[in-house]
A and B are shown apart, each in its own frame.
Chain A
Amino acid sequence: MEMIQAALGWLPMWLQVLMMIVLKIVVILIPLMLSVAYLTYAERKVIGYIQVRIGPNRVGPIGLLQPIADAVKLIFKEIIVPAGSDKLLFLLAPILAMAPALAAWAVVPFQPGMVLADVNAGLLYILALTSMGVYGIIIAGWASNSKYAFIGAIRSAAQVVSYEIAMGFALVGVLVAAGSLNLGQIVLAQSGSILHWFWLPLLPLMVVYFISGVAETNRAPFDLAEGESEIVAGFHVEYSGTPFAVFFLAEYANMILIATLSAVLFLGGWLSPFQGIPGLAEGALGAPSMLWLFIKVAFFLFLFLWFRATFPRYRYDQVMRLGWKVFIPITIVWLLVVAGMVVGELPPWFA
C-alpha cells in the first residue's frame, strides 16, 4: 500500500486520494465479480450432486470455464425491449438492482484495517442499501408491461416489506450487543473465543437474520418473485442478454453480501475460531485473517444452495405469516433478552 502511495507521490494530493479509493474499489470489485461467477458454478455443481447429476463439465476442465462461457453468451445476446414497456425504466431496473448490491461492500471489513470506508454508521448504511435492491425488482416488473412480471414485482415488494422489519430488529440486537454501528467494532466486540462470537447469545437473531436474508435476496425457498412454476420467471421474464445478466449478477452479489454480513455480525468476521484455545491460539491458526472470513462466508453460501435443493417454495400467504407472526415476535422478545444480558453484564460476552 505504501509502495503504491509512493509511486503516486508526484500527483496532486486530491488525485492521489482519488486514485487510492478507485484502486481499492477495483481490488474489492474484481474478486467479488469472480466470486459471483464461480458461485453460479458452485451452485450448479453442489445442487447437481445433491440431485444425482454431475453439473457443468463440458467447458474447460471439470466445467470450470462454464461461468465465463455463460457470461459471454449473455453479453452477445440481443437485448429485447418489449413493445409497450417503459424503455427507460426497463433498462434502469437492472442497474438499480445491481448498484446497491455492490455499493454495500464499501463498509464490509475484511481484516483489521482492511475496509474501504471505516464509517461509524456502517450498519445503518448496510440496512439502507440492502433495502434499495428491491426497487430494481419492482421497477423491472412494472416497466416490463407483462402480467407475470407484474405479479412477481408485487410479491417481491410485499415480501421485502415484511422481512425488512425482522431483519432490522435482528440488526438492532447486534447493535445492542456490540454497542457500535461500525462493522469493524462489531467484529472486535466478539473477540475472545469461538464462544464469544455473537452466534451464541444472539442465536435466534442469527437464524432470523439469515432466513430474512434469503427472503430479501429472493432465493429459494422464498423465490416467489420468480416462482417459475406459476409466473415463469417473475420480474425478469421479459429480460434477455446483458440486462438479464445484470439481474443475475445482482442476485448472486446479494447472496454473497448477506453471507458476508452474517459472518461479520454473528460469526466473528475475520476472527479465528481457535482464538482463546491454549496451544492452538498462539500459532498462525489463532491469528485473525481474511481467510477465516472467507471460510465463514462459504459456509453461509453453502446454506443458500442447500436450501434451494431441499425446500419447496413457500406460498405467498405462508411467507407473510412467517415474517409477521413468527420472526418479528421472536426478534422483539430476543431483543429484550439481549438488552437484559447487556444491562446485567452477563459473562462471558458482556462482562
Chain B
Amino acid sequence: MRPENYQAVSHPPSHEYEVFFGPNHPGIEGNYALKVRLHGDEVTAARADGGYLHRGFEKLMEGRLWIQNIALVPRICVPDPVPMEVCYSLAIEALGGLEVPERAQWIRVMQLELSRIAAHLFTFGGNAATTGMYTPMFWGIADRDLILDLFEELSGGRVYHIYNIPGGVRRDLPEGYLKRVSDTLDYIESRLPDYDNLMFTNQVFVRRATGVGIMTQEQALDWGVTGPNLRATGLPFDVRRDDPYLIYDQLEFDVPVEEAGDAWARTLVRRAELKQSLRILRQVVARLPEIDGPIRAPIPNPLAWNLPLGDVYTRVESSKGELAYYVVSNGGDKPWRVHVRGPSAMHAVQVLEHLVTGARIEDVAQIMFSLDACPPEVDR
C-alpha cells in the first residue's frame, strides 16, 4: 500500500480489536482463515472465513464418468485420502449392485487403517506445533513417511493413491508387502513411548491443552460433530463398530472414549485410536495371507457404464469423523449429484467459531488443530 493511501485503522472505544488468523498464518491449518475479535487477549467473537480451497468437487464430479471421479475424490482431504476413495467406491458398488471380493475388502481395511495412522501422526504433530513444540511435528511427518512408502509401493502414489476402485482394488499386494507393513507397525509401535515422553506426558503440554475448547456431549450431538471429537465428549460412537462396513465386524477393536471434551481429551482419544489401528492392522496382517481370491469384481466397460437409477448414502469412519457420500444416479454414465459429508465441515466452521469465542488468543490455533479441522474438506 502506498503511504498516501494508508488510513489509520480506527478502533471502537470498546478497546476491542480484530486480528486475522490466516489465510496465510503459521498457526492455521491449510488455507483457512479466522477473524477473531479480541478484548485484551481474550477472544470475544470469531468468524471462520473459508473458501480459499474451494475447488467445486461436487459439481466437477457431475461432469465426469463414474470411474473418472476416483481420481478426484482423494483430493478432498489431503492428509487422509483413503477413506474418500473407499467411501466413493462403496457408494458406486451399492448403486451398481457389485459384490466386492473378500480379499479386496481386507486390503481396503488395511489401507484405511494405515491412512488413519498417518493422519493421526500428522495431527499430533500439528497440534504440538501450535503450542510451539515442533519436534513431534517433524517426528510425526518422518514416521508418516514410512506409511506413505507403503502406499507408494502398492499404488505408485504417496498421497493420492487412486487405488480403491469400484469393485475392489487396482493391484494385488506385491511380494513380501505384509512383512513390510508388519515391520512398519513394529517401528511405529516402538516410537510411541518417545511420543509419550515428549508430548503426552509433558506437563507443559498437558496444562496447555487441559480445559481448552470444551465441548459438551449435547453440543457435539447438536452440531453434528463425529469422530474423535465426539468420542472425546464421552459417547462411544464409531461407524466402524456401529454400522460396520467392509469386514470391520470380523475385527476386534475398542472404541476409546474420554469424558472431558477439551483439547487434551481429543488428543488422548486420537492417541488411543492410533493404538487400536495398530491392533486392527496386526489382525489384518495375520489374516490376509489366508484369504485368497480375486481382488476385483468384474465391472462393465467403465467408459460406457450406466448405473441404475437410484440414490445411496454410504459412510465410513475417517480419521476426522463420519465421512459420507450421498450419490444420486439418473441412470446415466455420470453421477447426477454427489454430496460429500466431510466431517470437518461440521466442526471446523461454526463449532470452531463457538469454541474459540471466550478462549485466549494463544489457544485459538490449538483449538483448531485439536478439532483436526481439514480445510480442503470444508471447502470441497
Interface residues of A (CB under 8 A from B): 47, 50-53, 83-84, 147-148, 151, 220-221, 223-224, 227-232, 309-318
Contacts and interface: CB of A to CB of B under 8 A. Distances in A.
A232 B134 contact: no
A52 B364 contact: no
B27 A229 contact: yes
A213 to B, nearest CB: 18
Contact of A313 (B3, B131, B360): B131
B128 to A, nearest CB: 7
Contact of A84 (B8, B202, B364): B8
B362 A312 contact: no
B303 interface: no
Interface in B131-151: 131-135, 137-139, 142
B188 interface: no
B204 interface: yes
Given A230-B365, A309-B134, A315-B363, A52 B142 contact: yes
A51 B139 contact: yes
Contact of A229 (B8, B17, B132): B132
A52 B366 CA distance: 24
B19 A147 contact: yes
A230 B28 CA distance: 9
B41 A151 contact: yes
A228 B27 contact: yes
Contacts of A310: 133, 135, 198, 202
Q: Sort A-B residue pairs by CB-CB distance and give the 3 closest, nearest first.
A: A313-B132, A229-B27, A312-B131
A228 B129 CA distance: 10
A271 B221 CA distance: 66
Contacts of A230: 21, 27, 361-362, 364-365
B133 A312 contact: yes
B291 interface: no
B132 A232 contact: no
A316 B208 CA distance: 10
Contacts of B41: 151, 316
Given A229-B131, A230-B27, A231-B361, A312 B204 contact: yes
Contact of B135 (A51, A223, A314): A51
Contacts of A316: 41, 360, 362
Contacts of A84: 6, 8
Interface in B10-36: 17, 19, 21, 25-27
A47 to B, nearest CB: 8
Given A151-B41, A312-B131, A51 B19 contact: no
Contacts of B137: 51
Contact of B26 (A83, A151, A228, A318): A228
Contacts of A53: 138
B207 interface: yes
B130 interface: yes
A114 B233 CA distance: 64
Given A229-B366, A230-B364, A313-B132, 17 more contacts: A51-B135, A151-B41, A220-B132, A224-B362, A227-B132, A229-B26, A229-B131, A229-B365, A230-B365, A231-B361, A312-B128, A312-B204, A313-B131, A313-B133, A315-B207, A317-B360, A318-B204
Contacts of B361: 151, 230-231
Given A84-B8, A228-B27, A229-B130, A148 B138 contact: no
A47 B207 CA distance: 24
Nearest to A228: B26
A231 B20 CA distance: 9
A113 B34 CA distance: 59
Given A52-B139, A83-B6, A223-B132, A147 B17 contact: yes
Interface string B203-230: 0110110000000000000000000000
Contact of A51 (B3, B6, B138, B208): B138
A47 B365 CA distance: 23
18 contacts: A50-B135, A83-B1, A148-B19, A151-B361, A220-B132, A221-B132, A228-B27, A230-B27, A230-B362, A230-B364, A310-B202, A311-B132, A311-B133, A312-B133, A312-B204, A312-B208, A313-B132, A315-B362
Interface string B111-136: 00000000000000000111111110
Nearest to B4: A83
Nearest to A231: B361
A80 to B, nearest CB: 12
A53 B135 CA distance: 10
B377 to A, nearest CB: 22
Given A52-B142, A221-B204, A229-B365, A315 B26 contact: no
A165 to B, nearest CB: 22
B132 A312 contact: yes
Nearest to B26: A228
B255 to A, nearest CB: 28
Contacts of B26: 228-229, 232
A315 B208 CA distance: 7
B6 A312 contact: no
A312 B1 CA distance: 36
A150 to B, nearest CB: 9
Contacts of B128: 312
A107 B139 CA distance: 43
Nearest to B138: A51
Nearest to B8: A84
Contacts of B364: 230
Contacts of B362: 224, 227, 230, 313, 315-316
Nearest to B5: A83
Contacts of B138: 51-53
Given A83-B3, A83-B6, A229-B129, A314 B27 contact: no
Give the most central of A83, A312, A315, A316: most B CB within 10 Å. A312
Give the most central of B41, B129, B205: most A CB within 10 Å. B41
B363 A311 contact: no
A317 B129 CA distance: 19
Give the most central of A220, A223, A313: most B CB within 10 Å. A313
A176 B150 CA distance: 63
Contacts of A232: 25-27
Contacts of B365: 229-230
